[in-house]
Amino acid sequence: MQYGMIIDLERCVGCHACTIACKAEWEVPVEFGRNWVKRLGPSKVGNELASTYYPGLCNHCAKPPCVDACPADPAEMTFKDAKSGKTTTLSVAATWKDPFNGTVQIDKSRCIGCGACVESCPYEARYINPAMVDDVSSDGKADKCTYCMPRVEAGLAPACVQTCITNARIFGDLDDPTSEVAKYVKKGAKGLEPKGESIGPNSRYYGKKKDMTLLFQESTPELADMGSVKRRAMMASMVKPAMRKARDLGLLGLAGAMLVKGLSEKKNDE
Amino acid sequence: MSESNTSQDIASLYRFLAQCMQYPDPEWMNDDFFNVFYNLLGSLGAVTEGKEIRKALEQSSDFIEDLQIEYTRLFINGVPHVVAPPFASVYMDKSIQGSFALRTLNFYRKKGFAMGEEADLPDNLIHELEFLSLLTEEEDYVGEEEFLSTLFRPWYKCFCPRVAEETRHPYYRMVVTLIDFFTKEEEEDGFQLNEA
Amino acid sequence: MAFNLTRRKFLQTASLAAATVPLAKFVSAETGVAKVSLEAQGTMGDTTVVGGLCEMCFWRCQLVGKVRDGQLMKLEGNPKSIDNGTAICARGNAGVKLLYDVDRLKYPLKNVGKRGEPIWKRISWKEALDECGSKLKAVVDQHGPQGICVFPHGASAKYPMHYFERTVGTHNVSEASFFQCRGIRDAAYVNTIGKAPGEFVDMANTKVLFLTGSHLGENIHVSHIKAYINGLQNGAKLIVADPRYSAAAAKSDIWVQIKPGTDTAYLLAIMNYLVTNKKYDKEFVTKHTVGFDKFSAAISEWTLDKAAKECDIPAVQIKEVAELLAANAPNVAIHPGRHVSWYGNDFQRERALACLTGLLGAYYVKGGWVPPKNPKIGKTSWATQEHGDEHNLNVSNNKMVHPFKPPGTPTELIRDCAITSKPYPIKGCVIWGQNPMQTIPNQEKMKQVFNAMDFVMCVDVMPTDVTMWADILLPESSYLERHDEIKVGVGKIKADDKEPTQFIAPRMPLVAPMFERKDQVYITNEIARRMGHEKDIPVQTLEELVNKTLESANITLASVKAEGGIHLQPGKSGYGVPEDFEVLLFNEEIAEAGFPGAPTYTPVEEVPAGYARLLYGRAPVHTFNRSQNNVWLNHEMPDNPVWLNDEVAKKLGVKDGDTVGFINSEGVKSRTTTTVKVTPGIRKDAVYMYHGYGSANPLMTAGVGKGVDDQSLITKIAVDPETGCHGMRNNFVKLQTKDDKTLDFPA
Ligand code: SF4
Ligand code: SF4
Ligand code: SF4
ipTM of the complex: 0.93
Task: State how far the alpha carbon of C63 is from the alpha carbons of A163, B27, C87, in Å.
Answer: 11, 44, 9
Which pLDDT score is estimated for A71?
Answer: 86
Give the contacts of C291 (CB within 8 A, at least 6 positions apart): C584, C585, C586, C587, C588, C597, C598
- Average pLDDT of span C31-59: 80
Distance CA B101, CA C71 (A): 9
- Please say if the pLDDT value at position B191 is more than 90: no
Asked whether residue A245 is domain-assigned, the answer is: no
Tell me which H or E stretch contains C482.
none
CATH of the domain at A10: 3.30.70.20
C103-124 burial: b if 16+ Cβ within 10 Å, else e: bbbbbbbbbeeeeeebbbbbbe
Q: Whose CA is nearest to atom 1 of ligand 3?
A: C221
Q: Which of A65-74, C110-119, C131-140, C446-455 has the lowest mean pLDDT?
A: A65-74
- Please say if the pLDDT value at position C127 is more than 80: yes
Whether residue C317 contacts residue C304, with contact meaning beta carbons closer than 8 Å, is answered with no
- Please say if the pLDDT value at position C592 is more than 60: yes
**Ligand 1 atom nearest residue A104's Cα:** 5
Q: Say if the Cβ atoms of C16 and B12 lie within 8 Å.
A: yes
Pair (C668, C688) in one structural domain: yes
Better-scored residue on pLDDT, C31 or C2 = C2
Q: What average pLDDT does chain C have?
A: 94
Chain B nearest CA to C83, separation (Å) = 31
- How many C-alpha atoms does A264 have within 13 Å on its Cβ side? 5
What is this structure's pTM?
Answer: 0.89
Tell me which H or E stretch contains A75.
strand A75-80
For testing contact with chain A, the best of C83, C101, C229, C631 (most A CBs within 10 A): C229
Which pLDDT score is estimated for C437?
Answer: 94
**Long-range contacts, A102-105 (Cβ 8 Å, 24+):** A102/A1, A102/A2, A102/A3, A102/A4, A102/A60, A102/A62, A102/A174, A102/A175, A102/A202, A103/A3, A103/A60, A103/A146, A103/A147, A103/A149, A104/A58, A104/A60, A104/A61, A104/A64, A104/A66, A104/A67, A104/A144, A105/A146, A105/A149
Q: Say if the Cβ atoms of B43 and C100 lie within 8 Å.
A: no
Chain C nearest CA to A35, separation (Å) = 11
- Average pLDDT of span C208-237: 96
Confidence of residue C23 (pLDDT cuts 50, 70, 90): very low
> Among all ligands shown, which has an atom nearest to the Cα of C81?
3
Pair (C436, C331) in one structural domain: no
Query: For residue B157, which phi and psi values (nearest 5 degrees)?
Result: -70, -15
- Please say if the pLDDT value at position C28 is more than 60: no
pLDDT in tens, C719-743: 999 999 999 999 999 999 988 899 9
**Long-range contacts, C418-424 (Cβ 8 Å, 24+):** C418/C149, C418/C448, C418/C449, C418/C452, C418/C453, C419/C445, C419/C448, C419/C449, C419/C452, C421/C452, C423/C393, C424/C143, C424/C144, C424/C146, C424/C147, C424/C391
Which pLDDT score is estimated for A249?
Answer: 46
Q: Say if the Cβ atoms of C15 and B119 lie within 8 Å.
A: no
Which pLDDT score is estimated for A255?
Answer: 36
- Average pLDDT of span C341-355: 97
Q: Say if the Cβ atoms of C77 and A163 lie within 8 Å.
A: yes
> Among all ligands shown, which has an atom nearest to the Cα of A64?
1
- Please say if the pLDDT value at position C666 is more than 80: yes
Please state the separation of Cα C45 from the chain's center in Å.
36
Domain residue limits at B96: 2-183
Whether residue C381 contacts residue C544, with contact meaning beta carbons closer than 8 Å, is answered with no
Enumerate the residues of chain C whose CB falls inside 8 A of the CB of residue A151.
42, 44
Pair (C322, C239) in one structural domain: yes
Chain C nearest CA to A220, separation (Å) = 20
CATH of the domain at C461: 3.40.50.740
- Please say if the pLDDT value at position A52 is more than 90: yes
Q: How many domains does chain C have?
A: 4
% of chain A beyond a pLDDT of 70: 83
CATH of the domain at C288: 3.40.228.10
Asked whether residue C243 is domain-assigned, the answer is: yes
Distance CA C434, CA C181 (A): 13
% of chain A beyond a pLDDT of 90: 71
Asked whether residue B104 is domain-assigned, the answer is: yes
- CA-based nearest residue to C700, from C633, C627, C622, C635: C627
Q: Say if the Cβ atoms of B99 and A27 lie within 8 Å.
A: yes
Q: Whose CA is nearest to atom 2 of ligand 2?
A: A148
CATH of the domain at B23: 1.10.3480.10
Q: How many domains does chain B have?
A: 1
pLDDT in tens, C257-312: 999 999 999 999 999 999 999 999 999 999 999 999 999 999 999 999 999 999 99
Confidence of residue B116 (pLDDT cuts 50, 70, 90): confident
Q: SS3 for C63?
A: strand
- Average pLDDT of span C224-244: 98
Chain C nearest CA to A162, separation (Å) = 6
Which pLDDT score is estimated for C301?
Answer: 98
Confidence of residue A151 (pLDDT cuts 50, 70, 90): very high
Whether residue B60 contacts residue B66, with contact meaning beta carbons closer than 8 Å, is answered with yes
Pair (C310, C441) in one structural domain: no
Pair (C326, C414) in one structural domain: no
- Please say if the pLDDT value at position C180 is more than 90: yes
- Average pLDDT of span C235-239: 98
Better-scored residue on pLDDT, B189 or C80 = C80
Asked whether residue A14 is domain-assigned, the answer is: yes
Query: For residue C334, which phi and psi values (nearest 5 degrees)?
Result: -90, 105
Q: How many domains does chain A have?
A: 1
Which pLDDT score is estimated for A138?
Answer: 80
Which pLDDT score is estimated for A230?
Answer: 62
Give the contacts of B187 (CB within 8 A, at least 6 positions apart): none
Q: Is C14 on the interface with B (CB under 8 A)?
A: yes
- Average pLDDT of span B46-70: 91
Which pLDDT score is estimated for C110?
Answer: 97
% of chain C beyond a pLDDT of 90: 91
Asked whether residue B148 is domain-assigned, the answer is: yes
Pick from C41, C220, C632: CB nearest A165: C220
Task: State how far the alpha carbon of C731 is from the alpha carbons of C213, C312, C340, C680, C744, in Å.
Answer: 17, 20, 16, 22, 15
- CA-based nearest residue to C66, from C45, C80, C83: C45
Distance CA C658, CA C674 (A): 8
Pair (C199, C344) in one structural domain: yes
Pair (C64, C196) in one structural domain: no
CATH of the domain at C52: 2.20.25.90
Pair (C188, C248) in one structural domain: yes
- CA-based nearest residue to A211, from A40, A6, A19, A36: A40
Which pLDDT score is estimated for C339?
Answer: 95
Domain residue limits at C61: 47-99
Please give the residue of chain B at the shortest CA–CA distance from A134.
Answer: B150
Q: Is A30 on the interface with B (CB under 8 A)?
A: yes
Ligand 3 centre distance from Cα of residue A9 (Å): 21
Pair (C62, C81) in one structural domain: yes
Pair (C616, C735) in one structural domain: yes
Q: Which of A13-17, A37-41, A65-69, C34-38 has the lowest mean pLDDT?
A: C34-38
Q: Say if the Cβ atoms of C103 and B77 lie within 8 Å.
A: yes
Distance CA C54, CA C87 (A): 12
pLDDT in tens, C608-661: 999 999 999 999 999 989 899 999 999 999 999 999 999 999 999 999 999 999
Q: Whose CA is nearest to atom 6 of ligand 1?
A: A61
- CA-based nearest residue to C207, from C102, C334, C75, C91: C334
Please state the separation of Cα A121 from the chain's center in Å.
6
Better-scored residue on pLDDT, B60 or C62 = C62
Distance CA A58, CA A75 (A): 24
Asked whether residue A241 is domain-assigned, the answer is: no
- Average pLDDT of span A98-108: 97
Pair (C239, C303) in one structural domain: yes
Q: Say if the Cβ atoms of A20 and C636 lie within 8 Å.
A: yes
Which pLDDT score is estimated for C85?
Answer: 97
Whether residue C4 contacts residue B45, with contact meaning beta carbons closer than 8 Å, is answered with yes
- Please say if the pLDDT value at position B194 is more than 50: no
Pair (C191, C170) in one structural domain: no
Which pLDDT score is estimated for C242?
Answer: 98
Task: State the virtual CA torsion across A170, A173, A178, A182 in degrees, nearest 10.
Answer: 60
Asked whether residue C150 is domain-assigned, the answer is: yes
Distance CA A189, CA A203 (A): 9
Best residue for ligand 3 mutational test, from C53, C59, C99 (most atoms within 8 Å of Cβ): C59
- Average pLDDT of span C376-400: 94
pLDDT in tens, A220-267: 999 877 666 666 665 555 555 555 544 444 444 333 333 332 233 333
Which pLDDT score is estimated for A233?
Answer: 63
Enumerate the residues of chain B whose CB falls inside 8 A of the CB of residue C101.
95-96
Asked whether residue B194 is domain-assigned, the answer is: no
